[in-house]
Amino acid sequence: MQGHTPTPVFSVRDKRNLLFIILGLVPAAALAFWLHILPVFQGLYLSLFRWSGLSPKRKFVGLANFRALANDSLVWKALGHDVYMVVFRLTAVIVLALLFAGILHFSSRRKQKIVQGLFFFPNVLSVAVVGIIFTFIYNPSIGALNAILTNLGLENLTQAWLGNPKTAFPAVLFPTVWGAVGYQMLLLFAGMSSIPKAYTEVALLEGATRIQEFFQVTLPLLRNVVKTCVSLVVINTLNRTFIFIRVMTKGGPNDATEVLGNYMFYQGFENFKFGYATSIAVINFTLALVLTFVVTRLLKKENLEYA
């Protein structure tokens, strides 16, 4: 920082401070750089090569990987699935989270505590655990879902949920919503709680109903929080949701659940085309940037401030 000299307490004129800065900062910075930041640049760089990862030789091919991607019909299919996945999760997660946060807003403290705890719990379970539980639930012979449908007299709806290309994708996406709503609900609820009471009370005094007040006063004031939630969901969907697919269907049946993340994994770690795999990841990253931009843009309009 320029402009003012540090107080003697924190000045590097004291050689002990200099040593402390180096010893305190370097290990964390070096580790984060080595295994967290550097890999991003390496990924971008590798996407320009053809390389099996096993042989010492790698061949610079420029943008050839990306040209090959454009001709790979599975990439286009996966891209479409990714967009579908983002729209599906965004709608389901945000609508449910807003609904629950809105209801909590009108509930007693006790109820708020219980619901927050219960609804958030799935978020702390491992993707692997949630994926396995739902794989069992969808299982055609012992699965809980078919058993419930049979008990309800809806036997004609029972099926191999993950084996049928028509149902596999929604079936994989449901647990990703199940495990994510709680967190977004907490964020939205915290946002609602920080809106000064005066605003909502004025609306109610003016004769607005609770519902009107919610949609016309609370929700607009919540825009920035909603924007944060929406960006988080988009980014997480494209970076992490494919792990559910890895656990539950591996992209099948008949590529019905193939997404870019899973396809990257397949090309990299089963097909050992490391250059091609990273170029798929670059497309995935680009898609995340574009979709985040589009979605936050849609929510932009004018910013309302109450501070």
Instruction: Answer yes or no whether residue 61 interacts with other proteins by CB under 8 A.
Output: no
Cis peptide preceding 253, ω within 30 of 0: yes
Question: CA 110 to CA 3: how far, in whole Å?
Answer: 52
Question: CA 22 to CA 19: how far, in whole Å?
Answer: 5
Question: Least separation, in Å, of the C-beta of 198 and other proteins?
Answer: 16
Q: Are 158 and 74 in contact (CB under 8 A)?
A: no
Question: CA 54 to CA 38: how far, in whole Å?
Answer: 21
- Region from 161-169, 178-186, 199-207, 212-220 binding other proteins, contact rule CB under 8 A: 178-186
- Burial letters 208-240, b for 16+ CB under 10 A, else e: beeeebbeebbeebbbebbbebbbbbbebbbee
Instruction: Answer yes or no whether residue 170 interacts with other proteins by CB under 8 A.
Output: no
Question: CA 23 to CA 30: how far, in whole Å?
Answer: 11
- Closest to other proteins by CB, 138 vs 169, is 138
Binding residue for other proteins (CB under 8 A) from 38, 154, 202, 298?
Answer: 38
Instruction: Answer yes or no whether residue 307 interacts with other proteins by CB under 8 A.
Output: no
- Closest to other proteins by CB, 36 vs 57, is 36
Question: CA 107 to CA 116: how far, in whole Å?
Answer: 12
- Region from 30-38, 155-163, 200-208, 213-221 binding other proteins, contact rule CB under 8 A: 30-38
Question: Least separation, in Å, of the C-beta of 267 and other proteins?
Answer: 9
- Closest to other proteins by CB, 25 vs 299, is 25
Question: CA 251 to CA 261: how far, in whole Å?
Answer: 10
- Region from 15-23, 60-68, 72-80, 199-207 binding other proteins, contact rule CB under 8 A: 15-23
CA distances from 265 to 35, 262, 280 (A): 19, 5, 9
Where does 29-180 show beta strands of DSSP type E?
A: 49-50, 59-60
225-244 residues near other proteins, rule: CB under 8 A: 225, 228, 232, 235, 238-240, 242-243
Instruction: Answer yes or no whether residue 90 interacts with other proteins by CB under 8 A.
Output: no
Question: CA 298 to CA 292: how far, in whole Å?
Answer: 10
- Closest to other proteins by CB, 167 vs 239, is 239
Instruction: Answer yes or no whether residue 196 interacts with other proteins by CB under 8 A.
Output: no
Instruction: Answer yes or no whether residue 200 interacts with other proteins by CB under 8 A.
Output: no
Total chain residues near other proteins (CB under 8 A): 104
97-156 residues near other proteins, rule: CB under 8 A: 99-100, 103, 106-108, 111, 115-122, 124-129, 131-137, 141-144, 146-148, 151
Question: Least separation, in Å, of the C-beta of 67 and other proteins?
Answer: 19
